[in-house]
């Protein structure tokens, strides 16, 4: 893609989008039509995904140039460092996005796969079969990679998607979207299968939440608490909620100390601005003498600010005191709250009170502790002796994810291709009638 193409694409910011300018549901209608073409087109979908990956690699320089504009705007707005990290693209991240496309292409096509089948005494043969959700509206902030991940995953699952990114990543997302469209066209699929709303007007969100005259089947929000709350309140179609990542790590008295230090530092500090970053560390009261100070020292040496409970402060004075609000805060920064709890029972109680039901980790060698943690905590992702930063669809072997769903619908945890399908029943008979 030449620089002139970049300029033309960025100029789309001022272009009206009829679907959202005046309530005309043209985008939804086009997406619905495109969705029908993607239901069973396995070979074409895979060809499109591979072509998208190639287009992303070829357009790397232009994507990074567009991202530089977004980063400049963000810096001038004085946003937090964690926000900048989520927004930033570089050569490695562009390559990772392209690789994710290739991995998604290699996944088995879920559409048409038989989930279960059985025979009835009357001779009927019943099959439960995966089918696309339809048209998915994805509303997100900050992360331009979501443009690629959401587009690719929805396509693989046979869905059409309408993407509404935030104003902060508008330039980056437009360039990425152009690569996705290029891949669709190369594979002979409708370009309208992946649409990007070319306006940052907040009214566009309301139009999408309305369902575009019945064309949109599901809304997936990915962003801050206020965005998700608005989507849940205003959406007229089902919502896959992706709430904040208020993640906990519990270190049991049975934990291996060296392992615990390594995991805790990684869970917090690898990337502080992602939803799988640990925000609260809970330490077993039985491990105060052996584990507490080494864990806090490891965090502070890594550049992390510690906000401590009263018990922790009595043992290690000089730390910043934690308030009740700290236990409810997703910092998305190099800050962690630390409390001492009364064993696994105390950890379970604390997590039940403050967790957003995203991701929690237990570090322990006692199998009874691990079983209680797994059985009694109701979060989407639970880990044993591993960092919360593994809360990622790519790390789960899904190729990528739209986000981590924290609700109670069938899509919970990383939302990949299978989670972007529903099912229908196929019933085969040979003349049966019901008496």
Does the pLDDT at position 23 exceed 50? Answer: no
pLDDT of residue 69: 96
pLDDT digits (tens, 9 = 90+) for 270-287: 999 888 999 999 999 999
**Structure tokens of 192?**
């309208």
| Residue whose token pair is 């229908």 | 424
pLDDT digits (tens, 9 = 90+) for 126-180: 999 999 999 999 988 878 999 999 999 999 999 999 999 888 999 999 999 999 9
Does the pLDDT at position 1 exceed 80? Answer: no
Q: Return the closest-CA partner of residue 293 out of 279, 278, 308.
A: 308
pLDDT digits (tens, 9 = 90+) for 320-358: 999 999 999 999 899 999 999 999 999 999 999 999 999
* Cβ neighbours, 10 Å, residue 67: 23
**Structure tokens of 372?**
């209680």
Compute the average pLDDT of residues 409-433: 92
pLDDT of residue 16: 38
pLDDT of residue 35: 57
Does the pLDDT at position 12 exceed 70? Answer: no
Percent of the chain residues past pLDDT 90, beyond the cut: 69
**Structure tokens of 388?**
């919360």
Kindly give the residue spans of alpha helices, DSSP state H, lying in 160-318. Answer: 170-186, 203-209, 225-234, 257-269, 293-301, 310-315
Q: Are 219 and 231 in contact (CB under 8 A)?
A: yes
pLDDT digits (tens, 9 = 90+) for 183-212: 999 999 999 999 999 877 777 778 888 877
pLDDT digits (tens, 9 = 90+) for 92-136: 999 999 999 999 999 999 999 999 999 999 999 999 999 999 999
Domain layout of the chain by residue ranges:
3-242+413-426, 247-390
**Dihedral sign from CA coordinates of 163, 243, 64, 201:** positive
pLDDT of residue 241: 73
What pTM was estimated for this model as a whole? Answer: 0.83
19/290: higher pLDDT: 290
Does the pLDDT at position 8 exceed 80? Answer: no
Model confidence band, residue 26 (pLDDT cutoffs 50, 70, 90): low
Q: Given this structure, which CATH class describes domain 247-390?
A: alpha beta
Buried b (16+ CB within 10 A) or exposed e, 136-151: bbbbbbbbbbbbbbbb
pLDDT digits (tens, 9 = 90+) for 71-96: 999 999 998 887 888 899 999 999 99
pLDDT digits (tens, 9 = 90+) for 205-236: 788 888 777 888 998 888 777 777 788 888 88
Distance of CA 245 to the CA centre of its chain: 10
**CA–CA dist 174, 195 (Å, integer):** 10
Q: Which of 72-81, 358-367, 406-415 has the lowest mean pLDDT?
A: 406-415
Judged on CB neighbours under 10 Å (0-12, 13-18, 19+), 192 is: buried
Kindly give the residue spans of alpha helices, DSSP state H, lying in 235-366. Answer: 257-269, 293-301, 310-315, 343-354
pLDDT of residue 15: 39
Q: Can you point out the beta strands (E) in 253-410?
A: 278-284, 305-308, 320-321, 335-341, 359-363, 381-384, 404-405
17/114: higher pLDDT: 114
Q: Are 285 and 340 in contact (CB under 8 A)?
A: yes
239/430: higher pLDDT: 430
pLDDT of residue 94: 97
Does the pLDDT at position 375 exceed 90? Answer: yes
Does the pLDDT at position 11 exceed 80? Answer: no
409/137: higher pLDDT: 137
pLDDT of residue 377: 97
Percent of the chain residues past pLDDT 70, beyond the cut: 91
Fold held by 3-242+413-426:
Aldehyde Dehydrogenase; Chain A, domain 1 (3.40.605)
pLDDT of residue 34: 59
- Asked whether the domain spanning 247-390 has the same topology as the one spanning 3-242+413-426, the reply is no
């Amino acid at each position: 893609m030449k620089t002139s193409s970049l300029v033309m694409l960025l100029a789309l910011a001022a272009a009206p989008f009829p679907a959202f300018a005046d309530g005309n549901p043209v985008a939804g209608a086009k997406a619905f039509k495109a969705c029908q073409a993607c239901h069973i087109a396995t070979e074409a979908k895979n060809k499109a995904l591979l072509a998208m990956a190639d287009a992303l690699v070829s357009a790397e320089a232009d994507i990074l140039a567009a991202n530089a504009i977004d980063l400049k705007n963000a810096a001038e707005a004085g946003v937090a460092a964690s926000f900048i990290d989520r927004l930033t693209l570089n050569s490695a991240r562009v390559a990772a996005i392209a690789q994710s496309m290739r991995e998604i292409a290699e996944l088995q096509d879920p559409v048409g796969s038989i989930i279960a089948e059985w025979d009835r005494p009357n001779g009927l043969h019943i099959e439960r079969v995966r089918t696309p959700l339809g048209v998915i509206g994805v509303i997100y902030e900050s992360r331009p990679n979501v443009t690629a991940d959401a587009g690719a995953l929805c396509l693989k699952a046979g869905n059409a998607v309408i993407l509404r990114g935030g104003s902060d990543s508008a330039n980056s997302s437009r360039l990425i979207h152009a690569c996705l469209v290029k891949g669709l066209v190369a594979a002979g699929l409708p370009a309208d299968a992946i649409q990007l709303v070319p306006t940052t007007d907040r009214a566009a969100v309301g139009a999408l939440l309305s369902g575009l005259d019945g064309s949109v089947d599901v809304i997936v929000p990915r962003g801050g608490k206020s965005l998700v709350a608005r989507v849940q309140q205003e959406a007229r179609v089902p919502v896959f909620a992706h709430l904040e990542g208020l993640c906990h790590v519990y270190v049991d008295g049975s934990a291996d100390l060296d392992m615990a230090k390594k995991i805790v530092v990684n869970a917090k500090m690898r990337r502080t601005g992602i939803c799988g970053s640990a925000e609260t560390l809970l330490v077993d009261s039985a491990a105060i003498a052996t584990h507490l100070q080494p864990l806090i020292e490891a965090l502070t040496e890594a550049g992390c600010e510690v906000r401590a409970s009263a018990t922790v402060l009595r043992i290690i004075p000089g730390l910043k005191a934690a308030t009740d609000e700290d236990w409810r805060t997703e910092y998305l920064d190099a800050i962690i709250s630390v409390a001492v709890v009364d064993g696994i029972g105390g950890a379970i109680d604390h997590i039940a009170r403050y967790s957003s039901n995203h991701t929690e980790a237990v570090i322990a060698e006692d199998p009874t502790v691990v079983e209680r943690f797994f059985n009694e905590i109701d979060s989407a992702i639970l880990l044993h002796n591993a960092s919360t930063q593994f809360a990622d669809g790519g790390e789960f072997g899904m190729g990528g994810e739209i986000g981590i769903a924290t609700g109670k619908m069938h899509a919970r945890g990383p939302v990949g291709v299978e989670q972007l399908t529903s099912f229908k029943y196929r019933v085969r008979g040979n003349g049966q009638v019901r008496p």
